[in-house]
Amino acid sequence: MAKRQIPVIVLAGFLGSGKTTLLNHLLRHSGGTRIGAVVNDFGKIEIDAMSVAGQVDSMVSLGNGCLCCAVDASELDGFLDRLARPAARIDVIVIEASGLAEPQEIIRMILASDNDSVVYGGLVEVVDGAEFSATRERHPELDRHVGIADLVVLNKADRIGDETRESLLETLAGLAPGTPVVPVSHGRIDPEMLFDRKPREDHLEAVRQLSFEDLLLADDEHDREHDHDHGEHCGEGCDHSGHLHSGYESVEFRSDTPMNPRRLMEFLDGRPEGLYRMKGFVHFGVAGHRDKFTLHAVGDFLRFYRSPWARSEERVTQMVMIGRGIDAGTLKAGLEGCRDTAPEETEEHSMWGVLRYAQD
């Protein structure tokens, strides 16, 4: 009998298009299918990895830099080996590329892998319905990404009208003739479009039999060992010219001191144009608002998602900012100026500005 190979699906799409949202949707609706995820964050603080962890059967994180530029593909190979080993009983592997990755480079790495337990399973390109037209003007490379996709997900359908949607569908059909394009909101595609779901009972059985602690622990160790300083850009020694991420940099910010809501909103309102993407978690510590506020900014879009902190979670603010022509020093200084050493004295109405953009 032929050996069963595990499909490796690449999930790509520009910054903030909804890849993590789609991956989380797949993980929640996988039925009995065991998904292994490889998450590639562009910034040093692994916000995407943190947003996916806990929902997935097994995850490895390729943080800090762009996978597509890895000089040495063996790191990805090592991760694929780990996820594909029979004991992990993974049915499908999804690689969430960073929002600035060149998908064809990742596909090339998968095809070049000498692991015969895995097989390239296709490219899913997520398109941000609200931003695509503008982003495409700045980054004509995106047309090529759509062109090589096996499935195009026109996401954020809820943010566009019928006319825009029809016009985008037409544009996408022109860029990828014959490729299915599915308009959705919040990445809610039918998982069967990507893989055959197995019955739930088998899944429960599998979960009972297996612990993935070892994999996660091994990842931590691996991350420590490979804490190579790629610099705040992608890396030295790789030729980025013509790559989507050329000129982009990421800036990280972390604070144990809570943030003042009013000052943070002023900072966000005045964020520079080149700062396209922000994501992270904010701790305000203001009475009545001591929850975790997950922050997402994509272009002009800004949203806080409010949720309780997990018991084990540190109450810290962590943020990644990605953009072009941004000044790391100015951004960090701006955020440092938002720190609030006495949040207990901050009046509750200071939160109003934040709450206007918040949802539970």
Binding footprint of ligand GTP on the chain (CB under 6 A): 13, 15-21, 48, 99, 155-156, 158-159, 185-187, 277, 279, 296, 298, 303
**Least gap, CB of 238 to ligand GTP (angstroms):** 20
Instruction: Pick the closer one to ligand GTP by CB: 186 or 290.
Output: 186
| Cβ distance to ligand GTP smaller for residue 146 or 298 | 298
Helix (H, G, I), strand (E, B) or coil at 87: helix
Of 47 and 84, which CB lies nearer to ligand GTP in the complex structure? 47
**Closer by beta carbon to ligand GTP, 48 or else 249:** 48
Taking the complex as a whole, the smallest distance from the CB of residue 272 to ligand GTP amounts, in Å, to 17
Q: Rounded to whole angstroms, how far apart are CA atoms 62 and 10?
A: 14
Q: Is the dihedral of CA 196, 202, 204, 207 positive or negative?
A: negative
Phi, psi of 348 (to 5 degrees): -60, -30
Q: Which is nearer to ligand GTP, 47 or 80 (CB)?
A: 47
Minimum gap (Å) between residue 203 Cβ and ligand GTP:
24
Measured distance CA(315)–CA(318) in Å, rounded: 10
Instruction: Look up residue 219 and give its two tokens.
Output: 């990842």
Which positions ≥6 away from 142 have C-beta within 8 Å? 14, 132, 135, 136, 244
Q: In angstroms, what is the minimal distance from the CB of 108 to ligand GTP?
A: 21
Q: Are 125 and 146 in contact (CB under 8 A)?
A: yes
SS3 of 125, please? Answer: strand
SS3 359: strand
Residue whose C-beta lies closest to ligand GTP: 99
Contact predicate 145/103, CB 8 Å: yes
In angstroms, give the least distance from the CB of 269 to ligand GTP: 18
For residues 120 and 7, what is the distance between their CA atoms, to the nearest angstrom? 6
- Give residue for tokens 């009013």: 262
Between CA 292 and CA 303 the distance in angstroms is: 13
15 vs 275, beta carbon nearer ligand GTP: 15
C-beta of 99 vs 121, nearer to ligand GTP:
99
Q: How far is the CB of 150 from ligand GTP (least distance, A)?
A: 18
| CB distance 170 to 2 below 8 Å | no
| Residue 25 C-beta: closest distance to ligand GTP, Å | 9
